[in-house]
Amino acid sequence: MIQTQQLTKKYGNYFAVNNVSMSVQKGDIYGLIGKNGAGKTTIFKLLMGLIKPSGGSITFLESYNLEMARHSIGFMMEDGFFSYLNAHDNLMFAAKLKGIEDEKEINRILQLVGLKNSTKTFSTFSTGMKQRLSIGQALLGNPDMVILDEPTNGLDPQGIADFRNLVMELNQKYQTTFLISSHILGELNLIGTRFGFINKGYLVQEISAKELHNNIHQGLIFQVNKLKKACELLENKLKITDYRVTKNKEIILPGYEDRPYIIAKCMVENGLDLMQLKVNQVSLEEYFLNLIGGNTNV
């Protein structure tokens, strides 16, 4: 749906976005993951035409006309709401700017983002309410594609769960494509179909949810009372040689996470005590940090 080719944005000599070639497919829930200052918002502003690239290009696959394509995208506003208006009136104003006059659409959105019964003015909103209104504004008119910049910031755990459900519902019901940024991989891991990892302006990796799942599930890990005998059984009986032993005397077998019963049966039948057997999983945070080679502020 969107493809960027070596997209670059420089501020002076500083590369906020550096040679980014990413592709968002129709129906994706694409998670753009990066630490604060990685370049996520800059990419979104470039996509929406709010700032001009210093290099590279953007293609919206369903349209040759960039401006027309941008009209069919819902974009989450950072600010731009009126402090003295309530949720309904702020949405009505945003809707008019999009050429939407139907009162029913305002009420649909208020219901979707849980602000239907709120009469408070924007100035008295909690951070979570402001965030819900921003998300709602992006969803006005049921666009084909929605770009959300850190939508879970300021939401409580229930708000994050509601947000996930809303995105999944719209994605399934209308095949709405989502491009969502976050600095926490775990927040989007449950719903994302594709991920782009960005660090210091570079797109470090673009990966499908399935590939990510395979990368974080790194085989089976088990521990028995007789390590030497277990290794002999693996090699001689099961013909497995690509295992490794950790300093804690655990054995790690790549690719056996869906067949733990083979290992359990062999060890127990040959008189060993099975003390531990589990899938060896790299945490999402670890995965992300390994990728960007950092260790702070994720």
Ligand X SMILES: Nc1ncnc2c1ncn2[C@@H]1O[C@H](COP(=O)(O)OP(=O)(O)OP(=O)(O)O)[C@@H](O)[C@H]1O
Which residues bind to ligand X, rule: CB under 6 A?
Answer: 11, 16, 34, 36-42, 150, 183
Least distance to ligand X from the beta carbon of 289, Å? 16
Q: Which is nearer to ligand X, 11 or 82 (CB)?
A: 11
Q: Which is nearer to ligand X, 37 or 260 (CB)?
A: 37
Buried b (16+ CB within 10 A) or exposed e, 229-267: ebbebbeeeeebeebeeeeeebbbbeebbeebeebeebb
Least distance to ligand X from the beta carbon of 207, Å? 18
Tell me how many degrees the CA angle 259-206-254 measures, rounded to the nearest 5. Answer: 20
Cα Rg, the chain, nearest whole Å? 24
Least distance to ligand X from the beta carbon of 150, Å? 6
Q: Which is nearer to ligand X, 255 or 294 (CB)?
A: 294
Least distance to ligand X from the beta carbon of 202, Å? 12
Least distance to ligand X from the beta carbon of 242, Å? 39
Helix (H, G, I), strand (E, B) or coil at 135: helix
Q: Which is nearer to ligand X, 163 or 256 (CB)?
A: 163
Q: Which is nearer to ligand X, 41 or 176 (CB)?
A: 41
Please state, as a whole number, how many other Cβ atoms lie within 10 Å of the Cβ of residue 218.
Answer: 17
Tell me the sheet residues that pair with 7. 20
Nearest to 6, CA basis, from 22, 23, 24, 19: 19
